[in-house]
Structure 1
Amino acid sequence: MSIEYAIIVKNKTRLEALIERFNTKSQAKFYIERLRGDFHDYEIEDEIFHDSLNSLQSQLSKVIKHKIVDRTYLPSYIFSDKNVIVTIGQDGLVANTAKYSQSRPIVAVNPDKGRYDGILLPFDTTNFIGGVESVLSNNYQSRKVNFAEARLNDGQRLLAFNDLFIGASSHISARYKLSFNESTEEQSSSGIIVSTQAGSTGWLSSVFNMAYGVAGLFEKNITPKHPKLKDDQLLFAVREPFKSIRTQTDIAIGMINNKNSLRIESLMPTGGIIFSDGIESDFLQFNSGTIATIGIANETANLVRI
């Protein structure tokens, strides 16, 4: 099937989000400068992004028809087999888009190489068109990335490119029953993080930083080691587990692969939640009676490479 449209996925810049919040640019500027912030940096960032976006659109228009989709509409947007997806923004935008792409090719563009590291952004506005053309000719190289999956006992499911969070929607302790590798225990904690290979250097790394920091206070000369996951592995970590008469802390961390899974039963009457990749607005309710099975999804992200 031939590609007919390029779908450009973008996010609002910080300046656009401020103007949306305060109605005008002048009011946004007053707010930031009153707090002694550097409003000029917001302006520079916005200008560079829109210069990159304009360049991207101009080049695409010579090759293929295109339209823009804002990140906020991704959960309800249905991509077609006739689409090539072009993201322009930070790495997180690639993660958010990949969940809804259904393995369609993604050309990820870094709009500001002086501001974003771009671990997931192999292209910029000087070379991305080559990536698009390779997809149009069906002669492209890509990196396949596995998703984590949370599947509920009512059939609902949620994918994660970087990580899943299972816990409470506020800063109260989450209560649940956790089963892993033939062991089961009731727990109370700040929630569970499940990380993919792609996300292992992000949120999950903060758990290890905290653990080594605490251990280092009592034990000197500890060399921090962060996990290096394979593409077919997930790592889960329980945040701040609390031991009591009813709750245990023996299952604090574990590796999930294609041969096992993590099972979590909610013990929270209300306020239980599962969300992925830091997007709390796209979530599954996780209240009493709900059982979540966490494993590796069948779907993969399809990231075009140079």
Structure 2
Amino acid sequence: MSLAPRVVLVHRTTEYEELVARHGTHGQAAFFLRSRGRDIGEVAERSRRDRRALAEVASKVPLTWRQASVERADLDRFLFAPEDVVVVVGQDGLVANVAKYLSGQPVVGINTDPVRNPGVLVRHGVPDAPKLLAAAADDGTPFEELTMVEAVADDTQRLVALNEIYLGAAGHQTARYRLGHEDDGGVVESQASSGVLVGTGTGASGWLRSVWQERSSALPLPGASESRLLWFVREAWPSPATGTSLVAGELAAPARLRLTVESDRLVAFGDGMESDAMELTWGQTVRLGVAGVRLRLVG
């Protein structure tokens, strides 16, 4: 007898809930916002809309299925199972937040606020939940498989991200390292910079695109499902000991970018989650490239 699917509802604390938790009461939160030219009514209404959407999606889960809920801050402590169907209720960024903790589970994105959220990854409304859940549990459903990026250190630390991985100094100060491709004959360059950004086609709508546009890069941006990444060195500094000849490129699977740390401490984090960073120290090597796992997005 096969185990019934478990729906895991992924959500995040709303701005209103964070304000009340910080200031103690609704009235004090309202006073704080008024002092900054904002009205708490609109913030509270968005919160109610998000919570209604979450409750409505939960009510559409089949009665024979199991159900769990996890808040964004608790994702690193939540254990996802192979049979889970992951339903993200909220913003596009929440899909990126959960992607690194998955290993092939189908993901459904529900947009709670289409007026404010672009809907690149949370593409569906609450009424679509029943048919999306059925599709996610059907082995014959074709999923959109989105490329992810990974960083693997020589001490077995591993980091996976949907949009991009940033590697540099904590606090975004000067990072020192040696950089090179593993398949280019061993060309390596010592660098001092503001860090290295390696991004996917999904990330090409965010930070990666910003750097790409600033550089007026001729490299074509990858598609979301394409097994190709772009990388950029941010603000490389030329000196007698450091160069600027290797500052951008692409990585088609299985190619890897190799970086050896020459600072006391560097960090690597994915999709803006600095609180969940991989720490590296002098002499360590990290390799960055297309991840072996992909995000399976329904619809």
CA contact (8 A) 2:172 2:195 kept: no
Candidates 272, 277, 287, aligned match of 1:283: 277
Shift of 1:274: 0.3
Shift of 1:61: 5.5
Deviations 1:129-181 (A, max 9, x none): 10101233434221111211100000110001100000011132111111123
Distance, in Å, in 1 between the alignment partners of 2:5 and 2:132 is 15
**Counterpart for residue 222 of structure 2:** 229
Candidates 182, 187, 207, aligned match of 1:183: 187
Shift of 1:62: 4.3
- Superposition TM-score, scaled by structure 2 size: 0.92
Aligned length: 293
DSSP 3-state at the match of 1:60: coil
Deviations 1:96-127 (A, max 9, x none): 11211211111111111122111112221011
Letter in 2 for 1:292: V
Letter in 2 for 1:29: A
- The change in CA–CA distance for 1:123 and 1:226 in structure 2 (over 3 A counts) is farther
Distance, in Å, in 2 between the alignment partners of 1:171 and 1:232 is 28
Q: Identity of aligned pairs, percent? A: 30
> Does 2:22 align with 1:21?
yes
Shift of 1:56: 1.0
Letter in 1 for 2:211: V
Deviations 1:250-302 (A, max 9, x none): 001010112421000111113x1000001001110022122110011111111
- The change in CA–CA distance for 1:25 and 1:41 in structure 2 (over 3 A counts) is same
CA contact (8 A) 1:14 1:46 kept: yes
Distance, in Å, in 2 between the alignment partners of 1:25 and 1:192 is 43
Deviations 1:217-255 (A, max 9, x none): xxxxxxx87832141001100111111111110001010
Distance, in Å, in 1 between the alignment partners of 2:143 and 2:4 is 17
**Structure 2: runs of 5+ lacking an equivalent:** none
Letter in 2 for 1:7: V
DSSP 3-state at the match of 2:115: coil
- The change in CA–CA distance for 1:161 and 1:238 in structure 2 (over 3 A counts) is same
Deviations 1:57-108 (A, max 9, x none): 2222646331211111111211112321111011111111121121111111
Distance, in Å, in 2 between the alignment partners of 1:159 and 1:171 is 20
**Counterpart for residue 197 of structure 1:** 201
Candidates 276, 295, 298, aligned match of 1:301: 295
CA contact (8 A) 1:3 1:81 kept: no
1:59-74 residue pairs with structure 2 within 5 A? Answer: 59-60=60-61, 62=63, 64-74=65-75
**Structure 1: runs of 5+ lacking an equivalent:** 213-223
Distance, in Å, in 1 between the alignment partners of 2:219 and 2:40 is 37
> Does 2:274 align with 1:258?
no
Letter in 1 for 2:269: F
Distance, in Å, in 1 between the alignment partners of 2:12 and 2:219 is 31
Letter in 1 for 2:204: S
Deviations 1:4-60 (A, max 9, x none): 321101011111122222222222221121121233331221121112112112222
Distance, in Å, in 2 between the alignment partners of 1:144 and 1:171 is 32
Letter in 2 for 1:98: A
1:118-157 residue pairs with structure 2 within 5 A? Answer: 118-157=119-158
DSSP 3-state at the match of 2:275: strand
**Counterpart for residue 210 of structure 1:** 214
